[in-house]
Structure 1
Amino acid sequence: MAAKRPRARNAWSWRSRAFRGLVYQVVAAAAIAALAWFLWSNTLHNMRVRGIQSGFDFLGQQAGFTIGESLFPFDSAESYLKGFAVGLSNTLRVAVAGIVLATVIGTLVGVGRFSRNLLVRSLCAGYVECFRNIPVLLQLLVWYLVLTEFLPGVGEEWKAGPFFLSKGGLNFPVPVWSPGQAWSVAGLGVGLLLAWGYRRWARRRFEDTGKPRSMFWTPLAIVVLATLVGWTLGGAPTALDVPRKGEFAVENGGALTPEFLALWLGLSLYTAAFIAEVVRSGIAAVPQGQSEAAAALGLDHRMEIRLVLVPQALRVIIPPLTNQYLNLTKNSSLAVAIGYPDVVSIANTSMNQTGRAVECIAIIMVVYLTLSLGTSALMNWYNARVAIKER
């Protein structure tokens, strides 16, 4: 007698695991949405009962305060919305600059932990243990104290060539913007595209023929050459806005305030200690056989680290490195402690003037959530590029 075949389950039947899972997810999402709506409506009701205004309409009102440091002009007659934009630009400015500096210092210190020189190894280990075990807020306050108390006052600046350093900050020359500068930027963009294309070609050629090609110096030369070509086509502009000592302060040129310098140095040096440990652990995770293979090929210690160990360690380094970038970005909110006008500082001022506490806090949350998700997406994309791909 033929065996009875099992009856196929209906995809929309409660006996279907996939259908039950879908129902549970819909119910959970509806419950979360209902809870959020209840909390929001209850908050608005309580605020109305107490006569507290709510809503984001205040963003179009006149701010009534000035911002001491901004990338673009802002005065008290402009809106709160533009004030938040200035705060966001200041946050992005210190976060990007901090990530770059922390990555450079952390990589050098992490690689230095493998140096065959005892003094270099000891200094790198001492740096890590010192900076990562002191609270970051305390480091920010120390750097701010150093920059505002121990540097010479205005009128007695330290001068090194066209650079001035004092309690007023760091002044430095900047290019005078002209159409020729736009040509230079265009040349830089073309150079980056050509360098990216060269790296792809060199990688494929190495995989096909086994003949190595320069993966660093040649792309760098391409970028520099393309930038020079663009600069030349633009008329080779050389005009600089050079700072000079005025009657009361240093005038002209670019300037970095003590608040920005303290925040930048504090966040960068603190985060670099953790990045150094990430780099050290990533290199240590590469099998010892790779070092032996590099030695068998006749590579010296520097080439072994640069060509063999670090490229393989990147697959281990990138995920925890993303966490450090996120921590640096979020720690930039401590800028309010030293008076740097970031988005948190602008929100605090707006909150005190308008009483819109919920709205200002919501703006802060959205800003940092967006920055964190954007950083994570970028690092995840890069992590996917360096990941080992099965063939």
Structure 2
Amino acid sequence: MRGREHPLIAPRPAPPRARRRWSWHHPGTRALVWQLLALLAVVLGLGWLVHNTQANMAARGIQSGWDFLSQTAGFDIGEQAIAFASTDSYARAFAVGVLNTLRVSVAAIVLCTLLGMLVGIGRLSRNLPVRMLCRGYVELFRNVPLLVQLLLWYLLLVEYLPDPTEAWHWGDFVFWSKAGLSLPFPVQGPQGWHWSLPTLQGFAIEGGAALSPEFLALLLGLTLYTAAFVAEVVRAGITAVPRGQIEAALSIGLGRGQTLRHVTGPQALRIIVPPLTNQYLNLTKNSSLAVAVGYPDVVSIANTSLNQTGRALECIAVIMVVYLGLSLSTALVMGHINRRAALQER
């Protein structure tokens, strides 16, 4: 009969009432409220910290502010990626320090990657002397503190190399002495680009591009130390590839080099990139140890500026921002590489 339910058929359950979007019982509303409360707590905490710091500095007569960046620095920088004189501002001095940090960090990242890949692959070699030599390298440089390595390289470069007048040289264009490593360098002149060659003039080597002992000590220390960790990352990535993949490649006639290049390498890369990113970040931050060998990086420039101006908070903030920016930039680039290397599912 119409209008009546059959006695053997259960009535349809009423559809659940939709919860209102902005109701406290809605999980999205609760999540949003807790996020806003957490953000408010962080803002209030930072506000209290800034106010308390300013009050304490005022009570002690400590100056604050960023106006010192436009003042004359009044000190020289021994190694400059861009031109700098003592009459330039503190802002330009910080720019020189940042560029010096970038220069040594990028060079060390490239070199430690190449060396670490060779050592990591060497640790899997069937040649026993090669395998033991690579293992000994990893155990030595990984377990000696980086600061000790930096001091050792600096001592060797400034104490045991010959004077510029008796510099070791390869041909007439590469000189290595206590003054550093002098190399040919392209420069632009009135008639276009030409090579500037280093030459011995009196008691010094003039011309070309000179890499100071401080730069070389820092570069060697960062490269050799980080390459030991990169080697272990590479070794672990290769050994993580299933053995059956290697046996299948060898069974179809591929050599070991071809297997590494076409089969093992691409699969290992997906495992290698994430921990390799951590090693690059550590290398960039470890470059702050340049102060120990006198290389004028951003930390060294900040220390000098702090001692002259007394703006401790501002100088420390510059260091934090610089290394934060470098780390985030490195993570962004490596994240892009990781996405490119990741397995694309259909």
TM-score by length of 1: 0.84
Describe the shift of the 1:119–1:80 C-alpha distance in structure 2 as closer, same or farther (beyond 3 A). Answer: same
| Residues 180, 374 of structure 1: alpha-carbon distance in 2 compared, 3 angstrom cutoff | farther
Runs (4+) off by over 2 Å: 176-181
1:105-144 correspondence to structure 2 within 5 Å: 105-144=115-154
Which residue in 2 is equivalent to 1:60?
A: 70
SS at structure 1 position matched to 2:162: coil
The one of 218, 227, 245 equivalent to 2:200 is 245
- Per the TM alignment, residue 360 of structure 1 is displaced from its structure 2 partner at its CA by 0.3
Residue of structure 2 in register with 1:257 after alignment: 212
Picking from 30, 38, 45, the partner of 1:28 is 38
Amino acid at match of 2:176: L
Q: Deviations over 1:205-235 (max 9, x none)?
A: xxxxxxxxxxxxxxxxxxxxxxxxxxxxxxx
Q: Secondary structure at the match of 1:358?
A: helix
> Which residue pairs with 2:96 in the alignment?
86
Aligned-residue offset at 1:61: 0.3
Listed one character per residue, the Cα deviations across residues 43-63 of structure 1 (whole Å, up to 9, x for unaligned) are 011111111110111000000
Counterpart in the other structure of 1:390: 345
CA distance in 1: counterparts of 2:345 and 2:183, whole angstroms: 50
Q: Find the partner of 2:164 among 154, 157, 169.
A: 154
Q: Which residue of 2 aligns with 1:168?
A: 179
How far residue 255 of structure 1 moved from its aligned partner, in angstroms, is 0.4
Q: How does 1:336-347 map to 2 (within 5 A)?
A: 336-347=291-302
The superposition leaves residues 258-307 of structure 1 with CA deviations (integer Å, 9 ceiling, x where unpaired) of 00000001000000000000000000000001111111111111111122
Q: Which runs of 5+ in 1 are unaligned?
A: 182-236
Give the CA deviation at 1:178.
6.0
Could you tell me which of 61, 82, 87 is aligned with 1:51?
61
Aligned twin of 1:303: 258
Q: Larger C-alpha radius of gyration, 1 or 2? A: 2
Residue 151 (structure 2) pairs with residue 145 (structure 1): no
After superposition, the Cα gap between the structure-2 partners of 1:17 and 1:108, relative to the gap in structure 1 and judged at 3 Å, is same
> Match for residue 75 of structure 1?
85
More displaced, 241-250 or 171-180?
Answer: 171-180
Q: CA deviation at 1:5?
A: 2.1
Q: Which amino acid aligns with 1:127?
A: Y
What is the aligned partner in structure 2 of residue 224 from structure 1?
A: none
Letter in 2 for 1:171: S
SS at match of 1:176: strand
RMSD: 1.2
Q: Choose from 279, 283, 294 the match for 2:238.
A: 283
Task: Give deviations 1:161-187, integer Å, cap 9, x for gaps.
Answer: 111100100001112336998xxxxxx
Percent identity between matched residues is: 60
1:39 alignment partner in structure 2 = 49
Please name the residue that 2:8 is paired with: none
Q: Which residue of 2 aligns with 1:195?
A: none
User: What's the CA shift for 1:2?
Assistant: 3.2
Amino acid at match of 1:247: G
TM-score relative to the length of structure 2: 0.95
The equivalences for 1:181-220 within 5 A come to none
Correspondence for 1:325: 280
Higher RCO (CA 8 Å, separation ≥ 6 residues)? 1
